[in-house]
Structure formats: C-alpha cells, structure tokens
Chain A
Amino acid sequence: MAASFASRCSRVSRSLFGGLSNNSPGLFTTSHEMTCSNSFSQLQQQRTFIQMRTVLKVADNSGAKKVMCIQALKGKKGARLGDTIVASVKEAHPNGKVKKGKVVYGVVVRAAMQRGRCDGSEVKFDDNAVVLVDKQGQPIGTRVFGPVPHELRQKKHVKILTLAGHIA
C-alpha cells in the first residue's frame, strides 16, 4: 500500500519536473510548426473561378498553346469545369490552325478549383486547361491530351470525350 503511494508520488513529481525542463523547447517547436503551416497555406493558392484574364493551357492539337479567358459564357463569377469560355490566343505554334491574337471559344476540361459531382463528392485537377471549339461546339483539333471529366457528357461535348485518352 505504502509502496504504491510512493510510486504515485514519484511519478507525479517526475512529470512535473519533466514539464518544467522541457517547457522552453516545447514552445519553440510549436512556433516552428505554426510558421510552417503558414508558409504552406501561402504555397497552396486558393483556387477560384476561371475569369477574365485567366491564362489556360490548351489541351488539344489546334495549334494554340496558351489562351487568356476574356469572357465566361455562363455564370456571374466566372467559368468552372465543363463551362464554355471566350478566349484570346496568347501563344501558338508557328504553323497551326489557330493563330496568335485570334478570339476563340473553348470548353474548360480541367480546372484547379473543385467542382461538385452529381453524387455530392468533389473533383479537382492539377491545372486549368481548355479544348478549343467552334461556335457549334465541335472541337477544332483532332486530339485531346490529358484527363477529362465525364461531366462533359451532360454538357453535350461527347466528341471531346471520345477523343480523350483518360476519363476521370
């Protein structure tokens, strides 16, 4: 009985001493972690809608490399995954179908901002990419690179889906 009491006492005293001695490094580590998390949040940019002046990659062989969004055809805040935008070609291959400076239509096939799916889960991609289409919605290029969401089927862009290699 006495022995058990003694052991309890000693344990309490130990923990107290340990807490005292380890106090300052503990404080330091917490501050370090906090700074780390801050830097991470700065590193991970908050992703938003595709709006005017957003530069997107072109994920087909139409000849354009980069386009800048100048108008989203739907939505007040901007375009999301699967929406159509009007864009101007900023960079193009020298002998492609689409020339630099032209105004084109495009379907957003990849967006870094998450988009809700029909079952309630969400999907997001690595970058913002677009497939150039004409006014009727037919793709200008003949190939589509990279993954493409299956939601394009509901948006009546079946042609893009058939051209795509990976459907996510």
Chain B
Amino acid sequence: MRLEKCWFCSSTVYPGHGIQFVRNDAKIFRFCRSKCHKNFKMKRNPRKVKWTKAYRRVHGKDMTQDSTFEFERKRNRPERYDRNLAENVLKAIPKIEKIRVTREERHHKNRMKGKKRKIQKEATRELEQGISLVKAPLALQKDPSLTLPQKIKVSVSQQQSEDNNAMEE
C-alpha cells in the first residue's frame, strides 16, 4: 500500500480515492478528488492556484526546506521487514510530527512578524483620511475628541492645554 500525492494540490491520496489519468507517454497524474481533476482538465497551473500546496511553496507561505520532510520522501526500493526497525519507526513518527509542527509554527510566526503594526498603521491612515465622512471638518475643529489621541507626555498641566489649543488651530 502506498500513499500517493495528488498532482494538483499535493495532498495525500489514500487507496480507493480519486482518479488517475494516464497520459500517452505513460506519465500518471493522480488526483485526490474531482475538484483537482477538473482544475487539471481546465489546464490550470497549480502554482498559480492559491489553495494548492505548490502555490504556497512558491510564494513562501509554507516551510519548504526542512529535514523533517526527508522522512516523507518517496523511496523506490522497498525496505526489508525488520521487527525492531518497524518498532523504532512507529516510535519515531509522533516525535517527528511534533518537531515538524513546532517548526512550522515558528515559520508562521516569523512570517507574520510585522503584521500587527502594519494593520494598525493602515487603520490609522484610514481614520485620518476618512474622518470627514463621519463628521464635517468644521465640527471636528470644535470637538477634537474624534481625532486620534496624540501621545504627548507633558509634566505640567498648563503646557498640555496650550498644546491642545495649538492642535486645534
């Protein structure tokens, strides 16, 4: 029994699932479901379709180079059965899986590093540019509570009031 990978979305094709297409040069295309098969028939490139693994790999969304992927590689020579080896492999599988998950999480975290700041920046800009849609600029001048709170650290209370006056003008 061999778990193949779908040609289009690179997911695992379990036995009895999907359809396989044999081209005249004997290249076999396996598909996990009709969705992938239809996309293939429409001659779509999996690298350009956003939900496929190929796209995510090309665009740096997923971890690509890692030693944990070596264990999942396709081997053409079948391993001779050895009881101890099989036991060890079964023990190693959850460990490797755990390592892979943590590494992927780290990759994701690295990728999303500047995300929060970017969102905040965009929101600020939108607020500054679009505040006139909520309240007329003249009304805003009279009531400054709708503008963004400015981070000004001033020790003396008198100076702060002066700053506020300056901002209104």
Q: How far is the CA of A2 from the CA of B135 in the complex (A)?
A: 12
Chain B count of residues within 8 A CB distance of the other chain = 28
Q: In the complex where A7-B126, A10-B133 touch, is A123 in contact with B24 (Cβ < 8 A)? A: no
Q: Can you list, as one digit per residue, whether each of A118-161 has a CB less than 8 Å from chain B (1) or not (0)?
A: 01111111110000000000000000001101000000000000
With contacts A121-B15, A121-B16 taken as known, whether A10 is within 8 angstroms of B21 at the C-beta atoms is no
Interface majority SS (helix, strand, loop, mixed), chain A:
mixed
B148 touches A3 (CB 8 A): yes
| B131 proximal to A (CB < 8 A) | yes
Q: Does B20 sit at the interface, judged by CB under 8 A?
A: yes
A40 proximal to B (CB < 8 A): yes
Contact check, A168 vs B26: say whether CB atoms are below 8 A apart.
yes
Most chain A beta-carbon contacts within 10 A, residue among B16, B22, B126, B148: B22
Closest A-chain residue to B133, C-beta based? A13
**Contact call B24/A127, Cβ cutoff below 8 A:** yes
The A-contacting residues of B in range 1-46, CB under 8 angstroms, are 13, 15-24, 26, 28, 41-42
Q: Chain A: how many interface residues by the 8 Å CB criterion? A: 28
Residues of B within 8 A of A3 (CB): 127, 146-149
Bound complex: CA A149 to CA B20 (Å): 12
Q: State which of B13, B20, B130, B131 has its C-beta within 8 Å of the C-beta of A123.
A: B20
Verify A121–B127 contact, CB threshold 8 A.
no
Interface of B is mostly: mixed
Interface residues of A in 1-57 (CB under 8 A from B): 2-3, 6-7, 9-11, 13-14, 40, 44
Given A126-B23, A146-B24, A168-B22; A119-B16 close (CB under 8 Å)? yes
B147 to chain A: closest residue by CB: A3
In the bound assembly, the distance between CA atoms of A166 and B117 in angstroms comes to 57
Q: In whole angstroms, what is the CA distance A39 to B148 when docked?
A: 54
- Residues of chain A with a CB closer than 8 A to B149's CB: 3
A14 near B130 (CB under 8 angstroms)?
Answer: yes
Tell me, rounded to whole Å, the shortest Cβ–Cβ distance linking B86 to chain A.
24
Contact status A166-B133, CB under 8 Å: no
Nearest Cβ in chain A — how far from B5, in angstroms?
14
Beyond contacts A3-B147, A123-B20: 6 other A-B pairs, Cβ-Cβ < 8 A, are: A3-B127, A7-B126, A13-B134, A110-B22, A126-B22, A146-B24
Q: Which residues does A use to contact B, with CB under 8 Å?
A: 2-3, 6-7, 9-11, 13-14, 40, 44, 110, 114, 119-127, 146-147, 149, 165-166, 168
